[in-house]
A and B are shown apart, each in its own frame.
Chain A
Amino acid sequence: MSETVIKAENLTKDYGKNRGIFQVDLDVKRGETFGFIGTNGSGKTTTIRNMMGFVRPDNGKVSILDKDAWRDATEIKKYVSYIPGEIAFPALPTGTAFLKAQADMLHVKDFTYMNRLLKLLQLDPTANLRRMSKGMKQKTAIVAALMGDREILVMDEPTTGLDPLMRDVFLDLMREEKERGKTIFMSSQIIDEMEEICDKVAVINNGHIIGILDAWSYRHEDVKNFEIELASSGEMQKLCEQWRENLKVNEDGRSCTVAVEKKNTGKLLAVLKNFRIVSLHEKHKALADAFKELYRSE
């Protein structure tokens, strides 16, 4: 298997009163998009703070590219772009001034990539840094971090504050970055976006990793589930006669769920052509279900 880029071993940071993170193990491979999900206060940000070398672990360690995250924090930053979870900009007048200062510190000389990001996110950085809307601030933070064009992206809830359209733009950008071979570690509270772009998702609760889900396989499932509602229960009976495989009629008698192998989807649709369909949609909440399942079992 490919090289490990981010590795947490037995990582513990105890803030007392059961707060903090305990025995966290993570293993992020090169080129992977790794999601990190959990409720508020579950320890996502603490884990990321350890990765960035902002706090020193009580026990265990995190290493990035085999370098200790605390000791070699500065060295690691040459390979990592970081978007903080909380947006707080320095006391500079405009977004442009801030991006310039950041480019200085990141030793960015070539601004083509930054300008591309600005265009993509439709951000006008000349606005007053303090008067920006939440979404604009988030975009500015994204550009400030990503312009470094590092091989590893660590992002703490990068999509908060973005409108649904911008969120899609951002997720597309992440897909593109993945194509370019970047390793992406992002935390989020929104399971849908995790399902859309992540390969793996680690679930954290009360400071403990309670499971690592393989999001890729959920996205590429071989069997699709459809929920179908027809105009009457008579029609439903007719459908049951024409399609026997894995069809389960619900109690109301008018709707049902059908599990179809991916390659047979066409056939099912061909059959349905002759019915009066009230609604038809793919049941696609596999990851969310798995997530809820994990929480229930806790």
Chain B
Amino acid sequence: MKKGSNVLFSMPLMKQNIKSNWVLTVVIVIVMILMSTVINYATSIMSDSEGTVSEEVQEVKEDFYSYLFAMAAFNSASGAQLSYENFRDTTDKTVYDSAFQMVSMQAEENFTVEELEDIVHTLEAEGVSLDNCVQQFEYIYALQQSKGCFSGNDLTLEEMMQIMLDSMGVPSDLIESMSEMDTGSMINQMYYTVTGLLPILLYIVIVANGLIVNQVDHGSMAYVLSTPTKRLAIVITQAVFMIITPLLMLGIVCASRILSNHIIYGDAEVLKTVMLYLGMYILIESIAGICYMGSCIFNYSRKATAFGGGLTVWFFLASLLGMFGTKDLVNMGVGVEELGVFNQLTLIGLYDINAIGTIATDEPDDSFVWKLAVLGVIALVTYVTGAVRFQKKDLPL
């Protein structure tokens, strides 16, 4: 460091910043890590219980239906009383052995008792209710035997379901979209654009105020300025603090997220997660820039808080309302599409997590790039404006 005067950067001031802010910083990071991990875990449980069966299981299920069909066909041909229930309960499987052999010959398939036992084991292990399957099969089988008494068309189970739901007053398109509903992406939307942002938004509002306007308003800035420290060095030092700390904080939270991804899903999703947090960082910096500018322009802590904090609260609330206008929540039936307009009234709306989410897929949607660029420009302009203004204004010290 140059002797005499601190022209561009003041190390002692930075030390002072660290000393007076580290407790808050650590607390916020811990809160963010806890939130991220718990939400990640909750998402994993939710998608488990949702019963989205994998394709493999689906195939096994179909095989199971084939066996049920074989038994039903044999029953109708020979007047026997074969059933899955019976198959499960008897120890003597010879009847089934011969029945499967006969059906196999006719259908040019290869039904065996051993295979059916395997299938049952697999499905039971996956937690699929076989009784349900059997009942469902009964309907399908019965309907396949008959045609509509007026139209003469084939009757299908799907059609029947729809008509029944309609008559019960449940709109069938809701059912359709519910099946498309992706709870995972909804929780992500909620985490990245609303709840996950809250702690760090709180942090930047508090810190931006504490770094400049509070010290001017209270008068403690006089001690810094009564030393050979240029105002330029003060604004640069404080800006550096506001740029570096959120980066470190989000870096740590991002790392913890990658770790929890790895533990919970076995797939760290490094690129996607890093990009999501990088986007969040740029978003936070644009809001931090606004708070910093307010902190530099105003001499009263109250006014700066009203400006920076007020805008931040607005951005947050608009994002919260906007979330109820997103596709996922509208599909769930708890949102209204019109609320989506709020996403256009908040900087958080420029943080397009759906587009960023596609980054690791085959068809990446790079529209998030220009949105983040806009946020970056806002950050740059606000930081510079604040810094320039602070050097020219009168300080009530």
Residues of A within 8 A of B (CB): 49, 52-56, 73-75, 77-78, 80-82, 84, 86-93, 97, 101-102, 104-107, 144-145, 148
Contact B228 A89 (CB under 8 A): no
Give the number of A-B contacts (CB < 8 Å): 96
Are B11 and A54 in touch, CB under 8 angstroms? Answer: no
The docked-state distance in angstroms from the alpha carbon of A75 to that of B231 is 12
Considering the chains assembled together, what is the distance between the CA atoms of A112 and B183 in angstroms?
67
Q: Which residues of B contact A53 (CB under 8 A)?
A: 225
Does chain A have a CB within 8 A of B227?
Answer: yes
B214-237 CB mask vs A (1 if < 8 Å, else 0) is: 010011101111111111000000
Contacts of B392 in A (CB 8 A): 56
Query: Known contacts being A78-B4, A102-B227, is A49 close to B397, with CB within 8 Å?
Result: yes
Given contacts A54-B225, A88-B219, 12 further A-B contacts (CB under 8 A): A49-B397, A74-B5, A74-B229, A74-B231, A82-B222, A84-B223, A86-B222, A87-B219, A90-B224, A92-B19, A102-B223, A105-B13
Asked whether B210 is an interface residue with its Cβ less than 8 Å from the other chain, the reply is yes
5 contacts between A and B (CB under 8 A): A56-B394, A74-B231, A77-B227, A97-B19, A102-B227
Complex Cα spacing A93 to B228, Å: 24
**Does B238 reach chain A (CB closer than 8 Å)?**
no
B12 is contacted by which of A49, A75, A105 (Cβ under 8 Å)? A105
Task: Indicate whether B15 reaches chain A with its CB closer than 8 angstroms.
Answer: yes
Contact partner of B219 among A77, A80, A84, CB < 8 A? A84
A97 to B225, CA, bound (A): 18
- Cβ of A54 and Cβ of B13 under 8 Å apart? no
Residue among B6, B223, B230, B394 with most chain A CB within 10 A: B223
Inter-subunit contact B219/A78 (CB<8 Å): no
Q: How far is the CB of A129 from chain B (nearest CB, A)?
A: 10
Cα–Cα, bound, A91→B17 (Å): 9
Q: Which residues of B contact A78 (CB under 8 A)?
A: 4-5, 228
Give the complex CA separation of A148 and B12 in angstroms. 15
Does B355 reach chain A (CB closer than 8 Å)?
no
A80-B226, A91-B20 as given contacts; A55 in contact with B395, CB under 8 Å: yes
- Expressed in whole angstroms, the minimum distance between the Cβ of A72 and any Cβ of chain B is 11
Known contacts: A89-B220, A91-B210, A145-B226. The answer to whether A107 contacts B4 by CB under 8 A is yes
Chain B interfacial positions (CB closer than 8 Å to A): 3-6, 10-13, 15-16, 19-20, 210, 215, 218-220, 222-231, 392, 394-397
Q: Are B227 and A105 in contact (CB under 8 A)?
A: yes
Contact B228 A90 (CB under 8 A): no
CA distance A101 to B226 in the complex (A): 13
Q: How far is the CB of B254 from chain A (nearest CB, A)?
A: 29
Chain A residues near B5: list those with CB within 8 A.
74-75, 77-78
- Contacts A74-B228, A97-B19, A105-B227 given; indicate if A90 touches B222 (C-beta within 8 A): no
Q: Provide the bound-state CA to CA distance between A78 and B226, in Å.
A: 9
A75-B5, A90-B20, A105-B12 given; A54·B219 CB < 8 A: no
For residue B280, give the distance in angstroms from its CB to the closest CB of chain A.
27
**B391 CB → nearest A CB, Å:** 10
Considering the complex of A and B, which 9 residue pairs feature the smallest CB-CB distances, nearest first? Answer: A104-B12, A91-B20, A88-B219, A55-B394, A82-B226, A105-B227, A88-B218, A84-B222, A77-B228
Inter-subunit contact A52/B19 (CB<8 Å)? no
- Residues of B with C-beta under 8 A to A75: 5, 228
Least CB distance from B61 to A in Å reads: 64
| Chain A residues whose C-beta falls within 8 Å of the C-beta of B218 in the assembled complex | 88
In contact, B210 and A105 (Cβ under 8 angstroms): no
Give Cα A53 to B392, complex, Å: 11
Name the residue on A nearest B397 (C-beta): A54
Chain A residue with the shortest CB-CB distance to B7: A74
Q: How far is the CA of A81 from the CA of B227 in the complex (A)?
A: 8
A52 touches B12 (CB 8 A): no
Inter-chain CA distance A244–B394, complex, in Å, is 62
Give the residue name and chain of the A residue nearest to B224 (CB): A105
Q: A89-B220, A91-B20 are in contact. Are A77 and B395 (CB under 8 A)?
A: no
* Cβ-defined partner of A54 (8 Å) among B210, B220, B394: B394
Min C-beta distance of B214 to chain A, whole Å: 8
Which residues from B are CB-within-8-Å of A82?
Answer: 222, 226
Question: Chain A's nearest CB lies how many Å from the CB of B248?
Answer: 20
B395 near A90 with CB under 8 A, answer no
Residues of chain A contacted by B219 (CB below 8 angstroms): 84, 86-88
- B residues near A56, Cβ cutoff 8 Å: 392, 394
A27 to B12, CA, bound (A): 35
Assembly CA distance A101 to B10 (angstroms)? 11
A53 to B229, CA, bound (A): 12
Q: Are B12 and A101 in contact (CB under 8 A)?
A: yes
Nearest chain B residue, comparing its CB with the CB of A141: B223
B395 / chain A contacts, CB cutoff of 8 Å: 49, 54-55
Contact A106 B397 (CB under 8 A): no
Whole-angstrom distance from the CB of A139 to the nearest CB of chain B?
Answer: 15
Output the least CB separation between B84 and chain A (Å).
Answer: 73
Chain B residues, CB < 8 A from A144: 223
CA of A101 to CA of B392 in the docked complex: distance in angstroms? 26
Q: How far is the CA of A196 from the CA of B229 in the complex (A)?
A: 34
Measured between beta carbons, the chain A residues less than 8 angstroms from B230 are: 74
Option from A80, A89, A93 in Cβ contact (under 8 Å) with B223 = A89
Compute how far the CA of A87 lies from the CA of B219 in the bound complex, rounded to whole angstroms. Answer: 7
Q: How far is the CB of A77 from chain B (nearest CB, A)?
A: 4
Contact pick for A90, options B11, B215, B229, B397, CB 8 Å: B215
Closest chain B CB from A280 CB (angstroms): 47
A297 to B396, CA, bound (A): 32
Cα–Cα, bound, A104→B215 (Å): 18
Q: In the bound complex, do residue A88 and residue B226 qualify as a contact, i.e. CB atoms below 8 Å apart?
A: no
Which residue of B is nearest A53, CB measured?
B225
Which of chain A's residues have a CB closer than 8 A to the CB of B6? 105
Rounded to whole angstroms, the CA-CA distance of A81 and B223 in the bound complex is 10
B residues less than 8 Å from A86 (CB atoms): 219, 222
